[in-house]
A and B are shown apart, each in its own frame.
Chain A
């Protein structure tokens, strides 16, 4: 019985050690029928892209609380582009100041979620974004 599952890489780049948010999103996506590869803490952008290649994911979710998003996230997107994998959808969750959002989006991030976001919103967005990858 052939199936085509949505595969998501959930990762925590940077040095902060709080992975609760990442785990909550991981479970919500699993409960929505997706296969979620969870990498755990302290992944570098290089490690994230390497894992995304090997796992053939459709989506990368990055959870960042350390404040280092403006260096980490664009680096991930740049590495994806170099690997010719810029079709992969990237979303970011964590504590991201509003004024940083436009620049993140300009660098290629599809969605940014703050601490209060409901997991249903994330699930719905991921489904839609994968359905129309050019969006």
Chain B
């Protein structure tokens, strides 16, 4: 298929073309990049929403509930078209992956306004795959209004989502036990909205108190910052980037759907907050800036690799391996090679 035919098919809602193009992007092919370039002017419309949190807290079940709420809003607004990207970890040993998030999204079947894609992390760290931002951009360009991105859910390392999403939802559950403590320390700082799911389980009150006090703490970091703690500094930085927003705590039972309407409203409120405070544009600008920089880094490296004198490279490597020249100095020398 020619590029023009393909972009036309994509823009007119051809799902097979969409699925194939996503694979091209995941496989980092030249065709994939060309399509993304051609469709780039149509991006920048969608609300990107991240859903993160420890394994088994109910992210997928909640994502499906949220998708249904966006499709059939209980308030009087237009139904939104929903794209879902669900990332699961690639095994570092085999390179394979089990992508199981669809199990919880069965109820969305048959809805033409929903597109679900499971993605393997393919070695990327930080809870997403290297192609997740590009695939999200593609869904944006072909008219999905809301893009729900479920991260790997490894816990505190899932921080990449903050760069990609306008709104980040952190999901916790009462049966996480000590993990609630971990949330206090780490991932809480990235939450625009905190969800306590499985509110039907015993221990929900205790978990709620723990999360509430952690949220309070996160909100008052500024006053007792003495510059000593790493987490503390990070929290302040993020907190300062969203003045006037206090992350709400919302209790849900994803199994029954309880709390989904409140969560949906809270997401709408966060979107409004971003738009009113010009933070929506700022987030998009930050994302695009980091995408451009990533491309530059990759191309610069590729260019250098293409024209470096292989003999000089081998010599430099040898001198590093024999502890004569440091890797720091060797890199500088190699970059100084005449072209």
A positions within 8 Å CB-CB of B? 1-5, 7, 26-27, 29-40, 42-44, 46-47, 50-51, 53-56, 83-85
Can you name 21 A-B pairs with beta carbons within 8 Å?
A3-B27, A4-B27, A30-B97, A31-B96, A32-B94, A35-B99, A35-B118, A36-B96, A37-B100, A37-B102, A38-B99, A40-B103, A40-B106, A46-B110, A47-B109, A50-B109, A51-B102, A51-B109, A54-B115, A55-B19, A56-B23
Contacts of B115 in A (CB 8 A): 54
Q: Which of A33, A47, A83 contacts B106 (CB 8 A)?
A: A47
Q: With the chains together, A27 CA to B93 CA distance in Å?
A: 13
Does B110 lie within 8 Å of A47, measured CB to CB? yes
Cβ of A19 to closest chain B Cβ, rounded Å = 10
The verdict on A30 contacting B96 (CB below 8 Å), with A46-B109, A54-B116 known, is yes
CB closest chain-A residue, reference B16: A53
Contacts of A2 in B (CB 8 A): 27-29
The verdict on B45 contacting chain A, using a C-beta distance below 8 Å, is no
Does B109 lie within 8 Å of A33, measured CB to CB? no
Contacts of A53 in B (CB 8 A): 15-16, 19
Q: Which of B16, B28, B98 contacts A30 (CB 8 A)?
A: B98
Q: With the chains together, A117 CA to B313 CA distance in Å?
A: 51
The verdict on A27 contacting B98 (CB below 8 Å), with A56-B19, A85-B16 known, is yes
Cβ of A38 to closest chain B Cβ, rounded Å = 5
Q: Which of A1, A5, A43, A47 contacts B120 (CB 8 A)?
A: A5
Contacts of B72 in A (CB 8 A): none
B28, B103, B115, most chain A CB atoms within 10 A: B103
Contacts of B27 in A (CB 8 A): 2-5
The verdict on B65 contacting chain A, using a C-beta distance below 8 Å, is no
The verdict on B305 contacting chain A, using a C-beta distance below 8 Å, is no
